[in-house]
Amino acid sequence: MTDVKKYSQFLFPLFIILCFTPMITPAVALVSGIALSVIGFRHEKVNKYTPQVLQYSIVLMGFGMSLSEVIKASKNGFIETAISVIVVMTSGLLLGRLLKVKGNIALLISAGTAICGGSAIAAISPVLKSEENESSMALIVVFILNAVALLIFPFIGHYFNLSQEVFGNWAAIAIHDTSSVTGAGAAYGSEALQIATTVKLIRALWIIPLSIVIALFNKKEGGRKINFPWFIVLFALAITIANLFPTMNETYTHLNWLGRRGIVVALFLIGSGFSLESIKKSGYRSFVLGITLWLIIGVGSFIVLTS
């Protein structure tokens, strides 16, 4: 055990450094993290930094985006994300009852699928007053499906010869977490990455109205603080600054590169938190619910976007 810890202390910094090289793609980073975790190499402290790495990287990526393209993607993506959120949340609550999945777990999985994976679950859990094991189960289901999506979505996109715009919108709507959306977009192309990131962050804003609705339903049990995703505001600010002051283009290029590689680091850290034990704890009904919802939004949005 001591040797494992010693090697983990060495391997994790090494892999993080390698994530800043072209040889490590988003998919390779995720699989590498999962592989290390499965064979027993885990770092006790590193995973708590994953959300910060992801959020800072997204903000930095904003310095390399065109404001006009972002506005265009926002207009096109708003209605699509609104419809997808409503469809998934409604389907999730109905299927949860049908499959006899515990109410809080069904709601958390539905929110994670509809909005932005782990971020939505983390934001809604305190409002919902869910128990720790309920949040963990929902996170495990969403995390596993995220990993699968990151690996197969670019392959599906190339197989059907999807355009950069169509793939970016599809990834943003059908993949749970922001990290996997940006990872899949980066693997498909720069235009797909820009569209996917923008539309995904529009989708993430639905955390706020959903949290308010849940808080109102649980009002009699006492209020809870809603965790506003402030990094989205900073992301928009970075885009605005880069477009208002174009003379610093070279600096913005470096910051954008740092953000892109930061996403790769975040995916490695996410993969390193994987465990086979966690899958067993989630229960098959939770996975059936998560997979069904994922197929509904994945297949449904693909048909709509390609028709």
In a domain, 257, yes or no: yes
Mean pLDDT of 93-114: 88
User: How big is the chain by its Cα radius of gyration, in Å?
Assistant: 19
In a domain, 31, yes or no: no
Of all residues in the chain, the percent with pLDDT exceeding 70 is 78
Q: What is the pLDDT of residues 241-264, one digit of tens each?
A: 988 888 888 888 899 889 878 878
In a domain, 9, yes or no: no
Task: Pick the range with the lowest mean pLDDT from 113-117, 173-177, 192-196, 302-306.
Answer: 113-117
Pairwise pLDDT comparison (97 vs 264), residue with the higher score:
97
One-letter amino acid of 16: I
In a domain, 189, yes or no: yes
In a domain, 8, yes or no: no
In a domain, 11, yes or no: no
Report the alpha-carbon distance of residue 278 to residue 49 in Å, rounded: 20
In a domain, 26, yes or no: no
- pLDDT value at 207 more than 90: no
In a domain, 92, yes or no: yes
Instruction: Give Cα 90 distance to the centre of its chain.
Output: 21
What is the domain count for the chain? 1
pTM: 0.68
Torsion of CA 255, 150, 132, 231, to 10 degrees: 20
CA distances from 261 to 61, 136, 176, 194, 268 (A): 10, 28, 20, 15, 11
DSSP for 183-215?
HHHHHH-HHHHHHHHHHHHHHHTTHHHHHHHHH
Number of C-alpha atoms within 13 angstroms, CB side, residue 147?
A: 21
What is the residue range of 182's domain?
45-306
* Eight-class DSSP state of 46: G
Pairwise pLDDT comparison (222 vs 212), residue with the higher score:
212
H or E stretch covering 61: helix 50-61
Average pLDDT, the chain: 79
One-letter amino acid of 231: F
